[in-house]
Amino acid sequence: MTVGQQRAWEEHWPRLGRTVSDLPAGPVDFAEWFGREAPVMLEIGSGMGETTSQLAAAAPELNYLAAEVYDAGLGQLIRMMHGDAVVLLTEHIEPGTLAGVRLFFPDPWPKKRHHKRRIVQPEFVALIASRLEPGGTFHMATDWEHYAEQMLEVCSAEPALRNRYADEPGGWAPRPEWRPVTKFEERADREGRISHDLIFEKR
């Protein structure tokens, strides 16, 4: 961490952060933690936090929660879960309670022998779907064509979800204007890769 990130961590983490492995058993009381009742948006893998901080500021009506395993990113954000999002979802978030889940530019694991490490797999998508409220959304973005196709295939096979943009060419969602351009997307543009958005909705 930079000096500024370390200072932010030390100053704000005790009030605004949680570590997944240290959570008490059972669901997190998000209304108590945020100090209000509001729809909860979970972002998985917020990286260094630039995009997440913009998204959270642009949607003050949401209780915005970001889960990240990379320490340095946590020092730049306000409300964070440090640890494994799968454990958080499985053990600490009740079914049918999330307004949405965002997964922007997850590790693509581009080598074929590593594809099994990709987070978007049938079991993970079923878990996400179970935690979404009716009408809640699972929004993904990636700049790796093969991973985008895998996301589309896996999510389309989940009976609890429907592709909100199934009628669009390829089933891809239009790139939302509100989603900031990440450093990964900028690099993809320079390297000639096309980024795809996918938005699935809980039936």
For every residue of 116-180, DSSP letters joined together read GG-S--HHHHHHHHHHEEEEEEEEEEES-HHHHHHHHHHHHT-TTEEETTTTSGGGPBPPPTTSP
| Predicted confidence pLDDT, tens digits, the chain (203 residues) | 678 777 877 887 787 789 999 999 999 999 999 999 999 999 998 876 778 889 998 999 999 999 988 765 554 456 688 899 999 999 999 999 999 999 999 999 999 999 999 999 999 999 999 999 999 999 999 999 999 999 999 999 999 999 999 999 999 999 999 999 988 899 999 999 999 999 999 99
- The domains located in the chain, with CATH, are 3-202 (3.40.50.150)
Strands 40-44, 17-19: pairing is unpaired
Q: Which residue has the tokens 């640890």?
A: 83
Strands 161-163, 132-142: pairing is unpaired
- Choice among 22, 107, 143, 197 that is catalytic: 107
- Residue 78: the pLDDT is 66
Q: What is the pLDDT of residues 51-98, one digit of tens each?
A: 888 999 899 999 999 998 876 555 445 668 889 999 999 999 999 999
Active site residue 197: no
Contact 202, 132 (CB under 8 A): yes
